[in-house]
Copies of this chain bind each other. A is one copy, B any other.
Amino acid sequence: MKDIAHDLGVSLMTVSKALRNHSDISQQTRDRVLKRMRELNYQPDWVARSMVTGRTYLAGLVLPDLMHSFFAEVATSVARKLQPLGYEVVISNTEENARLEQRHVEVLIARKVDGMILASAQHQKKSALFEALDRSGIPYVLIDRVIPGVSASYVGVKDDDLGALATEHLLAQGCRRIAHIRGPAVSTGRGRLQGYRRTLERAGVKIKPEYIVEGDFGDTGGYRAMLRLLQLSPLPDGVFCYNDPVAAGAIKAVLEAGLQVPEQIAIIGAGNVHYSDLLRIPLSTVDQSSSVIGERAAELLSEAMSAKKRPEPRRIFIPPRLVVRDSSRRTR
């Protein structure tokens, strides 16, 4: 900047204003400055600019697992929304580890990101993480997982409705012994389980505790959980799985056991990950509109980041949508 000012015989300030399209600069001066800037390949230094303006135009995105296609879709849509607004997105992969997540968030705070979107892996009600976040004054939006006791904006589906939708579908397909491979103790896992319970109760079906098994987040967990279900007698005739990777693993186990999907055991997952249609047996699922979640969250965040004072937290619930494919369609 100094060079440009010197070369053109104007002051630093004139250059600074010209570069930022400030109003009180003559068109002629502006053009000269921009021309010289291009000649010198000059790019304004964001670090210095941030230091004085207090804004970094960085947005943090804290995710439990980038390799889970649901979060990859969210990341893509968040970036697609935020980048045109001038924000760069810093993605932190927490690997479902609450401690690691805490550290990442502290780092993002110290780096003065303008805002954060997080699918938090915290299990506890009110963790140090959210205290630090609130103290920092940095706006943030929760996605996918609700953290009890944290009153921040949220975007996601109502997981009990999702669980109910899936379970109702299995009932409608004629299943009577419906099992659930449940997820971990985060809000999505709890909510889906609750929806499953609620639906069976309302339908007057007795809930058997041994039909509810823990499946973790991924396909290996789903595979192992299904092996346990396959020990039972009578066998379940339908399984609602925490998510699509878990369901894919479960299907693998069922097929290896020589049983038919969906004829003997119908299976449904959740998330509608993009390859669901390409699996061994095209997978029925409940769609969560991952890209819509990302978009809405980005919108809420960008409002909060540009607002003078913190806007009221808002909760946006995306309605879950049933997608029936072969894995649960009974041809009775």
| Residue contact A67 to B66, C-beta cutoff 8 Å | no
Q: With an 8 A cutoff between CB atoms, is A85 at the interface? A: no
Q: Which residues of B contact A73 (CB under 8 A)?
A: 67
CB-contact partner of A44 in B110, B251, B252, under 8 A: B110
A112-B46, A275-B219 given as contacts; is B67 within 8 A of A80 (CB)?
A: no
Q: Is A32 an interface residue (CB 8 A)?
A: no
> 14 A-B contacts, Cβ less than 8 Å apart?
A45-B110, A47-B111, A51-B51, A66-B72, A69-B69, A75-B91, A79-B93, A80-B95, A83-B104, A88-B111, A90-B91, A91-B91, A252-B277, A280-B280
Nearest CB to that of A223 among chain B residues? B278
Choose one: B69, B110, B249, B278; the contact of A46 (CB below 8 Å). B110
Measured between C-beta atoms, what is the minimum distance from A116 to chain B in Å? 13
The chain A residues found within 8 Å of chain B, CB to CB, are: 41, 43-48, 50-51, 56, 58, 66-67, 69, 72-73, 75-76, 79-80, 83, 88-93, 95, 104, 106-112, 132, 135, 219, 245, 248-249, 251-252, 274-275, 277-282
- Cα separation A50 to B110 with both chains bound (whole Å): 12
Q: Which of B43, B72, B112, B277 is in CB contact (< 8 Å) with A47?
A: B112
Complex CA–CA separation, A107 to B93 (angstroms): 22
- Nearest B residue (CB) for A43: B110
Assembled-state Cα–Cα distance A73/B67 (Å): 6
